[in-house]
Each structure stands twice: as structure tokens, then as C-alpha cells.
Chains A and B, each alone.
Chain A
Amino acid sequence: MDPVLADRLQFAFTIMFHYLFPIGTMGLAPFVAAYTWKAAHGRDEESARIAAFWTKIFGINFAAGVVSGIPMEFQFGTNWAAFSRNTGSVVGQPLAMESLFAFFLESVFLGALLYRRRGVPSMFVAWAGVMICAGAWLSGFFIVATNAWMQHPVGYRIAADGTILLQNIWAVLFSRFAYWQFAHVLCGALLAGGFIVAGVGAYYLLSRRDEAIGRRLVRAGTIVAFAFALIVVFPTGDRNGRDVTQYQPVKLAAQEGLFTTEREAPLAIIGMPDVAHKRLIDPIFVPDILSFLSYGNYKANVNGLDAYARELWPPVELTYYAYHIMVGLGTIFAAAATLAVALLAFGMLWKARWMLWILMLLMPFPFVANEAGWVAAEVGRQPWIVYGLMKTAAGGSPTVSSGETVFTLIGFAGMYFLLGVLFLYLVLREIGRGPSGSEA
């Protein structure tokens, strides 16, 4: 096997598995903080129960995130030595900030939240919840800033020997690409958080147990999911799309399955790309919309894949499908959340059991959409590891053979399988016990 292919498979596998947990951490942290806060201030027993319930689930999720995240910081060095050597001067900075500013914050305060020792005041625990939320979001920002630099490098200079050196850290951290990408990623996680809370609440209502708490969860969850289902599309998704149009037009063409350059380009809602014949099979088009979405003008010219050399194309099928899964699910989320909030506003949600069914069954799909979005962004970045500057093929470790990477990939697969099974079991068991089963 090509060693870089093995490196890519290992990175894709470990990062995609790991990312399942940060979605939950970033998305649930504000709920945990809010309920812990309410429990500390309020006089109501119920908030304390809800806080304890979500803290348990959050704790399991966080632990799985920490354990699956341990390899992340080290993989750049082990499997991507040439990339690290060449770009560490820039890429190392936000990663160091992540550990020092965010990871410490989360980890130190998490102990206070999870291991409630006798005599620790509940206000302190509430503050710990807020700090963990801040740490989780900050952590996400630095990681996305690192990725955004690989998508759209700024603030660097190239040394005489070809090494990429840091020129201006502020340009790296506050590049437009970085903060819009972060806003989009964070909205995706909060949308997931909203749907998880609503889905668990819907489960209790459908099973006719813990109904008072179930209603509170559905109410809070659907409102959050509704808000972020909209913001994730506009403005954040829209701005990401425009950045891709401007800086990575080949990725745009692959995501949309646009093989030929067109004026008044149509948007393909569905269709299967046939790369060999450069066409979409059985497509459904909406005329002119792609031109409008990309440039704000129905008549604009949109470059298709034919405008670029074949070796600069990303893998078209994967980029196309990942992108369409994300957008398709995003549309479904927006519709479902709008409907649920409307029913809630008219006081009809508790009787509309079909809607509760939908909310419950939607729970896994925000995870799929978040992962698919990353696949579209990362696979669509190929063949570059740093867009326009360094090819992925040149980024591997010269001393690590594909056999070694395959071995460690198998090892990671085993370790993550164990972790995944235990995680699912423990979380489902916690949901099964419910908020009233746990002692507040």
C-alpha cells in the first residue's frame, strides 16, 4: 500500500471517531452549565435532577473524548513528519494554544464537576460548568483555526530552504476563513446538542415516564435546535460556501458535481456523479441557483471541474456525497425544528406524538451531518495538505512504512471499538435509568 494512503486512512479513522465526542462536548456543555447554574441558584429539585443527569452523560462523553483524543496531538509527528517539519512553525502555534489555554481549563474544572466532593459549594460547581463550556469552545476554535490555515494559508513566509515560517500569528488566528469556519462548526455542534436534549426528552414523553422533565428537555432542546438549524445555514454555512467559492473553486465544483463551466449554473439537488463520463446520473436541477448562491447573481459564471487540471481535482464522488449529505440533512433539520417549534408555540407539541417520534429518531443524524461536513471540507481539500502550498503526498513520514501504519491502524480500530461499545452501552443505560433514577 502507498504509505501516505495508509497515513490518511489512519488519520481519517482516528479523527472521525474522536470527533463524535467533541460534537457532544461542545453541544451539551452549555446545557450542562445552564442546568447546573439553575440548580445552584434555584430552589427546584427538578433542575438539580436534570443537571445531575446531563452531567453524568457529559462526563462519559468527555472521558471518551479525552481517551480517543490522546493520539491526535501526536499523530502529526508520528505519521506526518514531513508536514510537521515544514509547517510546524505555524501549525504548532494554535495547537500549543489549544493545550495550554483550553485543554487545561476543561480538564482541571471537569474534576470539580464530576467528582462532587463533600463540602464543595454548588456555586463552585456551577462555575466549573461555565469554565468547561468556555474551554470546550476555545479548544474547538484553536483546532478549527489550525484546519482553516491548512485550507487557506495566511500570515506565513517561505524560508530559503522552502520551510514555511510563521510571520503573523494574528493573521493566522483571525483569518476570515477561520472564524466563519469555527462559527459553522460550533453551530453544527449546538444543533446536535439541541437535538440530543430534545430527542431524550421525546423518548421520556413517548414512554410516558418522567414527563415533567421530558417536557422541559423537549422545550429547551427544540428551541436551541431551531435557532442553530437556521444559523448553521445562514449566515455561517453561506459564508463558508463563499470562502470556498473564492479560495477553493475546485472544491466547490466537486461538491456540487459541476463538471462543466456554466453561466447561470443550476444547483444539483440529487444525482450521482459519473466521473469517467463527466456528468451527473439522474440529476434534479434547480436552474440558476448555484450561480446565485456562489456569487449572489443568477447570471454569474461558475467554473466547473473542466476548468482545472485533472491532478488538482479532489476525489469527486466522496466530496460530492459528503457535501450533499450535510446539506440534505441540514434541510431536514431546519424543517423538523421549525415544525416542532411551531407546534410548541401553539401548545400542540405534547399531543403530536408523531412529532416526538421524529425528534427521537433524528438524534443520530446531526452526528452524521457534522462528520459529513468535515469529510467534504477535508477530502475536498485534496490533493493539498496545505492548500496551494504543499501536497498531501509529500507530507508523510519518510521513516514510517505502510506496514507499520496498517498495524497501528488495526490497533486503534480495536481500541476504539472497545471504547465505542462501552460508551454506547453506558450512555444508553444512563438514559434508560433517567433523571429520576439518579440521585441529585
Chain B
Amino acid sequence: MSVAGFIAIAFMLTMYVLLDGYDLGVAAVAPLIARSDRERAATMAGIGPFWNGNEVWLIAAGAALFALFPAAYASSFSGFYLPLIIVLWLLMLRGIALELREHFPSEIWHQFWDAAFSASSALLIFVFGIALGNLLRGVPLDAAGYFQGTFSFLLNPYALLVGVFAFATLGVHGATFVAMRIEGELAARAIQIVAGGSWLVLILYLAVTALTVSMNAPLRAPWLFAMPALSLTALGLMWRSARAGRAREAFVMSSCFIATLLAASAGTIFPYLLPAFPARNRGISIFAAAPSETALACALTVTLIGVAAVAIYAPIVWRRMARKVRVE
């Protein structure tokens, strides 16, 4: 049952990265593609109805971690105290920017919040990438499972590279969303970013994958070797759809690409929720962190019912709201 719990959390985090990933990506690429106040307003309007629901996946994953693996939740959240609080501040700033921009018809006001929105989103992607990098590499833990390192340990070259990779990947993901949801010139510029950005993503992907594999030399699961093939296929198809101007297809392929990356990451970390550095096996594994069978069963049931319900009503709402946004 612990394994099912691990899968549930990995699934929710993947959903978070796919969904909130496009909002973050849109914000990060907005300075590159949206040239006028009205175009920037259109990019924000494109994600306006969705970002709040998307962000709930992160909150839900945190809550599920709390219910499923309280020990891991407690030691990782308090261990990474400052980085986590900074993430919270960035999330808050981004929410404020997104909600308040349209409340004044002043261009100065808009410019300020656009900049705050793009900067906080870009920084969030970068920080999430660094977090993932450290998760793959492992972090120094004491016997009780509390983080023992410093801020500078977390900013190691490998994690920074993953941060840059995350930035490129989600930036392209956001651009596919803009191309799909917004009409006109803005969409044309976005699709060019996708086609060109694919090459950058490819290079970074190869570098990160090579480093990850060399770090975790004896890979546990043989299926992990198949993942790069899937990732590269998705990336290739995304590039082709972008070249052909098929935005929706590019968005789907970008989502597939990200999903394969996160599946591979989850497979690499498994069975740890927080692997240790340098010896992975001193980390917090799902078997040590689980509370009790009753609690696991309850939290898993809640997760399953909750996700199933969202899977039913969210698409209904999204379809209603899916009209293309026009630059006005």
C-alpha cells in the first residue's frame, strides 16, 4: 500500500507540473512573445480562469504527503524551511500579480504586475527544478531524517542545471499553451518559440540525463532504460507539430514529454521519498515513513475519490472556458 501512496503523490505532482507548469511557463515566456500591453493582458486572460485550480494540485500533493507519510512531510518541510517559505512567498506574489493586474486601467500598474508575475513565475520554475535536482541527487540527512546541509549545498551545479532545464522545458510548455489558446500574431510568435526552444530542451535533456544516469549508476528498474526513448519521441513529435503549426498537438506532446521526465525521476527516486546524500539508502523510504495501514487506506481512498471527481467535473468546466482568447 505504501507503493500505491508513492504513486499517488507522484501522480499529483505530475499533474501539478503539467497544469500549473503551463501557467508558470506562460508567465516566463510572456516577456519574449507579448509585445504590447494588450498582448500581455491576453496572455494573462488565457490562464486566468485556470491557474487557481491548477495550483490546488500542489496543495493537494502536500496534504496527501501529510496524510500518507507524516514523518517524511515533517522532516522535509521543516528541514528545507527557508527554501520552502521562499516558494510560498513567490506563489503568493504571483497570485497577487495575476489577480490584481486588471483592477486598474493604468499602464504603469500593468507593467509593474507583469514584471512581478513573470519574475516570480520564472524564479518558481527555477526553484522547483533545483528541488527536483536535489531530490535526484540526494541530500544529507541526520539519523532522524532531518536535513543537515546548508543553502549552498542545495545550489550545486547538477541541481542548477536541472533548474535551467526545468526553465527551458516549462517555458516551451507555456508557449505551446499560448499558441493553442490565443489568436493571432501572438500565437504565431509562441509557436516559433516552441520550434526553436525544442533544440535547447534537447541539449539540456541529454546533459541532465547523462549526469543523472552516471550518478545513479546501478539503476533499479529496467523499465527506466525505456524512458529516454519515450521522452525523445515526445520531444521530436512536439518539434514536428510546432513546425507544422499544430498548436494543440504540440501542447499534448509537450505534456507527454514532461510526464515521461517525471515518471523517470519518480522511478529513480523510488522507494525513497527523500534519498540521502552520499549514500541513498540512508534516506527516508516509503516503508519507514508510512503511518499505519488504516491511515494509508483512508488517505488513498480519499485521493482516489477526489482525483476521480476532479477528472469528471474539471474537464466540463474547462471545455466551457476553452474559447480562444482574442487580443483586444
Binding site for B on A (CB under 8 A): 60, 63, 66-68, 70-71, 73-74, 76-79, 81-82, 84-93, 95-101, 103-105, 107-112, 114-115, 117-120, 124, 128, 131, 159, 163, 165-169, 397-400, 404, 408, 411, 415, 418-419, 422, 426
Query: A422 near B100 (CB under 8 angstroms)?
Result: yes
> 30 A-B residue contacts at CB 8 Å?
A66-B52, A70-B91, A73-B59, A77-B73, A78-B77, A81-B78, A89-B67, A92-B63, A92-B70, A92-B299, A93-B302, A95-B63, A97-B302, A97-B306, A99-B59, A99-B64, A100-B307, A101-B306, A107-B52, A110-B52, A111-B48, A111-B321, A120-B321, A159-B292, A165-B291, A165-B292, A166-B292, A398-B144, A398-B146, A404-B81
Shortest distance between the CB of B66 and any CB in chain A (Å): 4
User: What residue of chain B has the Cβ atom nearest to residue A82's Cβ?
Assistant: B74
Which residues of B, 47-74, contact A by the 8 Å Cβ criterion? 48-50, 52-53, 55-56, 59-60, 62-64, 66-71, 73-74
Shortest distance between the CB of A213 and any CB in chain B (Å): 22
Query: B85 near A78 (CB under 8 angstroms)?
Result: yes
In this complex, the member of B55, B75, B93, B323 whose beta carbon has the largest number of chain A beta carbons within 10 angstroms is B75
B211 interface residue per 8 A CB criterion: no
CA separation between A434 and B53, bound complex, in Å? 29
Say yes or no: A74-B62 contact (C-beta < 8 A), given A100-B306, A111-B53, A399-B146: yes
Main secondary structure of the interface of A (DSSP, over half): helix
Shortest distance between the CB of A52 and any CB in chain B (Å): 15
B320 interface residue per 8 A CB criterion: yes
Which residue of the partner chain, among A86, A89, A114, contacts B49 with CB atoms under 8 Å?
A114
User: What residue of chain B has the Cβ atom nearest to residue A418's Cβ?
Assistant: B96
Query: B95 near A63 (CB under 8 angstroms)?
Result: yes
Say yes or no: A108-B310 contact (C-beta < 8 A), given A78-B85, A82-B74: yes
B1 interface residue per 8 A CB criterion: no
Shortest distance between the CB of B80 and any CB in chain A (Å): 8
User: What residue of chain A has the Cβ atom nearest to residue B91's Cβ?
Assistant: A70
Query: A78 near B302 (CB under 8 angstroms)?
Result: no
Query: B298 near A103 (CB under 8 angstroms)?
Result: no
Shortest distance between the CB of B221 and any CB in chain A (Å): 28
B317 interface residue per 8 A CB criterion: yes
Query: B81 near A99 (CB under 8 angstroms)?
Result: no
Give the residues in chain B near A169, CB-CB below 8 Å. Answer: 294, 298
Query: A104 near B84 (CB under 8 angstroms)?
Result: no
User: What residue of chain A has the Cβ atom nearest to residue B308's Cβ?
Assistant: A100
Give the residues in chain B near A119, CB-CB below 8 Å. Answer: 323
Give the residues in chain A near B48, CB-CB below 8 Å. Answer: 111, 114-115
Query: A84 near B73 (CB under 8 angstroms)?
Result: yes
Binding site for A on B (CB under 8 A): 45, 48-50, 52-53, 55-56, 59-60, 62-64, 66-71, 73-79, 81-82, 84-85, 88-89, 91-93, 95-96, 99-100, 103, 144, 146-147, 291-292, 294-295, 298-299, 302-303, 305-307, 309-310, 313-314, 317, 320-321, 323
Give the residues in chain B near A110, CB-CB below 8 Å. Answer: 52-53
Q: A67-B96, A96-B60 are in contact. List 7 more A-B contacts (CB 8 A).
A: A68-B92, A70-B92, A104-B314, A117-B323, A131-B313, A399-B78, A426-B100
CA separation between A327 and B70, bound complex, in Å? 38
Query: B75 near A85 (CB under 8 angstroms)?
Result: yes
Shortest distance between the CB of A87 and any CB in chain B (Å): 8
Query: A77 near B100 (CB under 8 angstroms)?
Result: no
In this complex, the member of A70, A124, A131 whose beta carbon has the largest number of chain B beta carbons within 10 angstroms is A70
Main secondary structure of the interface of B (DSSP, over half): helix
CA separation between A378 and B78, bound complex, in Å? 23
Shortest distance between the CB of B187 and any CB in chain A (Å): 18
Query: B60 near A103 (CB under 8 angstroms)?
Result: yes
Shortest distance between the CB of A437 and any CB in chain B (Å): 14
Give the residues in chain B near A124, CB-CB below 8 Å. Answer: 320
Shortest distance between the CB of B127 and any CB in chain A (Å): 14
Give the residues in chain A near B68, CB-CB below 8 Å. Answer: 92
Query: B70 near A109 (CB under 8 angstroms)?
Result: no
Query: B53 near A107 (CB under 8 angstroms)?
Result: yes
User: What residue of chain A has the Cβ atom nearest to residue B148's Cβ?
Assistant: A399
Shortest distance between the CB of B64 and any CB in chain A (Å): 5
Query: B100 near A76 (CB under 8 angstroms)?
Result: no
Which residue of the partner chain, among B64, B75, B302, contacts A81 with CB atoms under 8 Å?
B75
Shortest distance between the CB of B113 and any CB in chain A (Å): 11
Query: B63 near A98 (CB under 8 angstroms)?
Result: yes
User: What residue of chain A has the Cβ atom nearest to residue B307's Cβ?
Assistant: A100
Which residue of the partner chain, among A74, A118, A159, A399, contacts B79 with CB atoms under 8 Å?
A399
In this complex, the member of B48, B76, B79, B93 whose beta carbon has the largest number of chain A beta carbons within 10 angstroms is B79
Which residue of the partner chain, among B73, B78, B93, contacts A92 with CB atoms under 8 Å?
B73
Say yes or no: A104-B78 contact (C-beta < 8 A), given A70-B88, A93-B299, A165-B292: no
Give the residues in chain B near A120, CB-CB below 8 Å. Answer: 320-321
Query: A104 near B66 (CB under 8 angstroms)?
Result: no
Query: B302 near A115 (CB under 8 angstroms)?
Result: no
Which residue of the partner chain, among A100, A103, A107, A399, contacts B302 with CB atoms under 8 Å?
A100
User: What residue of chain A has the Cβ atom nearest to residue B69's Cβ?
Assistant: A88
User: What residue of chain B has the Cβ atom nearest to residue A95's Cβ?
Assistant: B63
Say yes or no: A79-B59 contact (C-beta < 8 A), given A88-B70, A88-B73, A111-B321: no
Query: A118 near B52 (CB under 8 angstroms)?
Result: no
Which residue of the partner chain, among A96, A107, A165, A400, contacts B63 with CB atoms under 8 Å?
A96
Shortest distance between the CB of A397 and any CB in chain B (Å): 4
Give the residues in chain B near A408, CB-CB below 8 Å. Answer: 81-82, 85
Query: B81 near A400 (CB under 8 angstroms)?
Result: yes
CA separation between A86 and B291, bound complex, in Å? 9
